[in-house]
Amino acid sequence: MMIFLRYESFREYLRIYPATTAIIALNIVYFIVIAINGNPNDAYHAIDFGAFVTKPITDPYGMEHPWRYLTSMFMHSGLEHLLYNMFSLLIFAPPLERLLRTPKYIVFYLLCGIAGNLASAWIQTLQDGGAQVSVGASGAIYGVFGAFLYLSLFRRAWLDESSRKTVYMILIFGVIYSFLVPSVDLWAHVGGGAAGFLLYNGFDRSMVRKQRVGR
């Protein structure tokens, strides 16, 4: 059965996937708060509300305000940006939350978002770029895709063929889209996806070790 098709009622969805529900709600509420107070796509306004910021000489990795690594994950530059990311979370995150269990999934999601910001900052330093202001949940969402890529490659029996093809198509489309649209942070996507792949590998190895010890 295709794991990315949602069959739950609204009430069942809230009960079974509490972390995904909370993350989506936080993104929507915070977007409304920011939009009420100004233009979400304005860099200075975004900075005031927690956008991720790097400065090439004085603060290339955004460590002056490290909390921005997290707050920027719940911000979006416009309604289209928000809807696209929230739709991705709504559809693709639930199977992973159920697989990892809610507490571990929350840690996974946040670490992937942080990794996406860190990768973006690192590439910016290599390219001798200027100051950077970025927002969005894409790094964390690509972490979810990265986990499913791991499952598609190394735990093929856990996913049906349609689900595996969907994962490959999303990642291919995402990379192409990231190259074609200048405003999209390609390296945040790559960093988040790589983090998701590696983190799930770690979780998978840990689960295998526990199973062996339990025998």
Q: Which of 77, 138, 152, 178 is catalytic?
A: 138
Query: Is there a catalytic annotation at residue 206?
Result: no
Residue 134 is among the residues annotated as catalytic for this protein: no
CB atoms within 10 A of CB 205: 10
CB neighbours of residue 87 within 10 Å: 11
- The catalytic residue positions are 138, 189
